[in-house]
Amino acid sequence: MKAEYLPGNAITLLEMGGAYFPALLAAIDAAQQEFHLETYIFEADATGHAVAGALCRAAQRGVAVRVMVDGFGAPDFATAYRPLLEAAGVQVLIYRPEIARFRLRRYRLRRLHRKLAVADGRIAFVGGINIIDDLGFEHPETPRYDYAVRIEGPLLTPIHASACRLWGLVAWASFRRRLRQPPAAQAVAETCGTMHAAFLVRDNLRHRRDIEEAYLKAIKGAREEIILANAYFLPGLRFRRALLEAAGRGVRIIVLLQGRVEYALQHYATQSLYGTLLAGGIRIFEYQRSFLHAKVAVVDGTWATVGSSNIDPFSLLLAREANVAVSDPCFAAELRSSLKAEMQAGAHELRHEDWQRTSWLHRLASRMAYSLVRLMVGIAGYGGRL
C-alpha cells in the first residue's frame, strides 16, 4: 500500500533512552483520558519499574491505560508486572504468549516488535527503544544506541487508529472481549508543525510490505547519498539489488551495523553478505562503542525513517512493526548529523581488503548462519524471499 504523507506535523528526534524515557514518562504523567503502550520487551529493571509506576498512577487517577507486550520478548512480564498493573486498573494483553518456548512452530516467529505509545490521542512515540535500562550490564558506561520520535499533528490519526485496531484484534483473539470497550480519546489531528510524515506498519494482512516498499522507493530514487543504520541487517534479494544498483549509479552508500556480537546467528548471517556489498562499492561500518539497536535511514538529506523494523526477514516478513517516514530536510539533517557523529565516535570501517583477509573458518560460520536463517524463514513460508 502506498505511504500517505500528511503535512503539518511536529516531530522530535529522541536519541537513546536518555532522551526517550523522560519524554515518555512525562507523557504518561500528563495523560488525562487514555494511554496506549506497545512494546516488545518490558524488563524488570529500574526503567521497567519507573514506567510501570507511571502507568499505575495514570490508571489510579482514571486514565484508561492499555499495555500490550510480546509473549516472547517479555517472558517475565506476566509475573513481574501484570498483577501490579491490573491491580491498579491497567488493562494488559500479551501478544502470542509463549507456551512451548523451545518448540519451533510455523507461526512462532510472528511477534509484536512495535514500540509505540499514544497519550490522549495528542502525542505519540514511535521508534526502536524497548522498556529496558539504556545502560546494559555488559557495557554500563555507554548507552544502547537507538532512536525514537515524539509526534504531534495529523499523523496522530493513523497512529491512534492502529493502536486501537491492534488492541481490539488481540483482545478478540485472546477471548478477553471485556477489554474491547471504545477508546476514551479521539486523535487530535491539528496542525502542529511543518513536517510531512507517514506512519508505516507491517502486519500480515493489508500492510505486509509497506515498510519495505517505502525503503525501496527511497533507495531507487536516491541520487547522492544513503545512510542506513540497522541492528540486524539481512535484506532480501530485491533490497540488495536496489542498494547495489544505487551504488552502481554513483550514490554514496554507508551501512552502519552491529559490531559487537549480541545474537550470534543474526550477526554471522549478516556477515555472509559483506563480500557482495563491499565489492559493489557499499561502505560498511561496524559499531563497537556499545550495542547498536537503531533502525533508521537518511536518503539524500531529505527523506528519513525511524522505527522498530530491522532490514531482515524477521521484521520485513514476519513481525508486526511500526516506522515513521519523514520528508523534511531539517529532520533528515538532524538525524544524519547524529549518525555521522556516532559513527566517528564509536564505529570503524570494514574495507573490502579487510574482509578478504578474514579466515575461512569465519566465512564458513557466516555461510552456515545464513543457511540456518533461510531454513527458519522457510519454515515460516518465506524462504524464497532471501
Q: Which residues carry out catalysis?
A: 113, 115, 120, 293, 295, 300
Q: Which three cell numbers stand for residue 282?
A: 557499499
Q: Give the CA radius of gyration of the chain.
A: 20
CA 175 to chain centre: 28
Q: Report the C-alpha gap between 86 and 351 in whole angstroms.
A: 53
Strands 34-39 and 116-119: what pairing?
antiparallel
Q: Is 320 exposed, middle or buried (0-12, 13-18, 19+ CB in 10 A)?
A: buried
What's the CA angle centered on 184, arms 80 and 197, to 5 degrees?
90
First to last CA, the chain: 22
* Alpha-helix runs per DSSP H in 145-206: 156-173
Q: Is residue 237 within 8 Å of 385, Cβ to Cβ?
A: yes
CA-wise closest residue to 95 among 78, 117, 111, 77: 111
CA distance to 51, 108, 313, 348, 352, per residue, from 356 (Å)? 47, 37, 26, 17, 6
Q: Distance (Å, rounded) from C-alpha 213 to C-alpha 211?
A: 5
